[in-house]
Chain A
Amino acid sequence: MNAILAIARKDLRIEWRTRTLLARVVPFALLVLVLFAVALDSEPLLLRAAAGLVWLAMLFAAMLLVQRSFDVETADHALDSLLSFVSSPSKVFFGKALSMFVQLFALAVVLLGAAVVLYGARVDGDGVVLLVTVLITATIGLSVVGTLYGVVVANMSGRDSLLPLLALPVLAPLLIGAARATEAALGSDTIDLANGWAWVALLVTYAVVFGSAGAVAFAPLAQSDS
Chain B
Amino acid sequence: MKTGTTTTRVLGIFALMITAWVVVSAFFLTPADVVQGDSVRIMYAHVPTAWIAYLAFVTTAVASGLSLARKHRTLGFDRVAGASAEVGVLFMAMTLITGSLWGRLTWGTFWQWDPRLTTTLFLFVTYVGYLAIRRVDVDPVRRARRSSVIALLAVLEIPLVHFSVVLWRSLHQEASVLNTDGDVRLDDLMLFTLFSGVVAFTLIFVWLVVHRQRLAAMSDVERLVGLDAAITARRAESTVGGGGR
Contacts and interface: CB of A to CB of B under 8 A. Distances in A.
Interface of A: 148, 152-153, 156-158, 162, 165-166, 169-170, 172-173, 176-177, 180, 190-191, 195, 198-199, 202, 205-206, 209-210, 213, 217, 220-221, 223, 225-226
A181 to B, nearest CB: 11
B8 interface: no
Given A190-B172, A205-B160, A166 B167 contact: no
Contact of A226 (B133, B141, B153, B167): B141
A1 to B, nearest CB: 26
Given A176-B165, A225-B142, A169 B160 contact: no
Interface in B112-163: 122, 125-126, 128-130, 132-133, 136-137, 139, 141-142, 145-146, 149-150, 152-154, 156-157, 160-161, 163
Given A169-B125, A169-B129, 20 more contacts: A152-B150, A157-B136, A158-B136, A165-B125, A165-B132, A169-B157, A169-B161, A170-B126, A170-B157, A172-B164, A173-B160, A191-B171, A198-B171, A209-B156, A213-B153, A220-B149, A221-B149, A223-B145, A226-B141, A226-B145
A158 B126 CA distance: 18
Contacts of B165: 173, 176
B142 A166 contact: no
Contact of A202 (B125, B145, B167): B167
A169 B149 CA distance: 16
Interface of B is mostly: helix
A152 B137 CA distance: 11
B16 to A, nearest CB: 35
25 contacts: A152-B150, A158-B136, A162-B136, A165-B125, A165-B129, A166-B132, A166-B150, A169-B122, A169-B129, A170-B126, A172-B164, A173-B157, A173-B161, A173-B164, A176-B164, A180-B168, A180-B171, A190-B172, A205-B160, A206-B160, A209-B160, A210-B156, A217-B153, A220-B146, A221-B146
Nearest to B160: A173
Interface of A is mostly: helix
B99 to A, nearest CB: 19
A97 to B, nearest CB: 15
A210 B149 CA distance: 13
A222 B194 CA distance: 46
Task: Please name the 5 residue pairs, one residue from A and one from B, whose CB atoms are nearest each other, closest first.
Answer: A173-B164, A166-B129, A173-B160, A165-B129, A169-B125
B161 A166 contact: no
Contacts of B160: 173, 202, 205-206, 209
A173 B130 CA distance: 18
A209 B153 CA distance: 10
A152 B152 CA distance: 13
A173 B119 CA distance: 10
B68 interface: yes
Given A198-B167, A226-B141, A213 B146 contact: no
A198 B152 CA distance: 27
Interface of B: 68, 122, 125-126, 128-130, 132-133, 136-137, 139, 141-142, 145-146, 149-150, 152-154, 156-157, 160-161, 163-165, 167-168, 171-172
Nearest to A209: B156
A152 B148 CA distance: 11
Contacts of B125: 165, 169
B153 A172 contact: no
A173 B153 contact: no
A200 B56 CA distance: 33
Nearest to B168: A176
A132 B202 CA distance: 50
Contact of A220 (B145, B154, B157, B171): B145
A210 B136 CA distance: 24
**Max chain B Cβ within 10 angstroms of own Cβ: one of A148, A157, A213, A223:** A213
Contacts of A198: 167, 171
A206 B141 CA distance: 30
A202 B152 CA distance: 20
B69 to A, nearest CB: 11
A176 B170 CA distance: 13
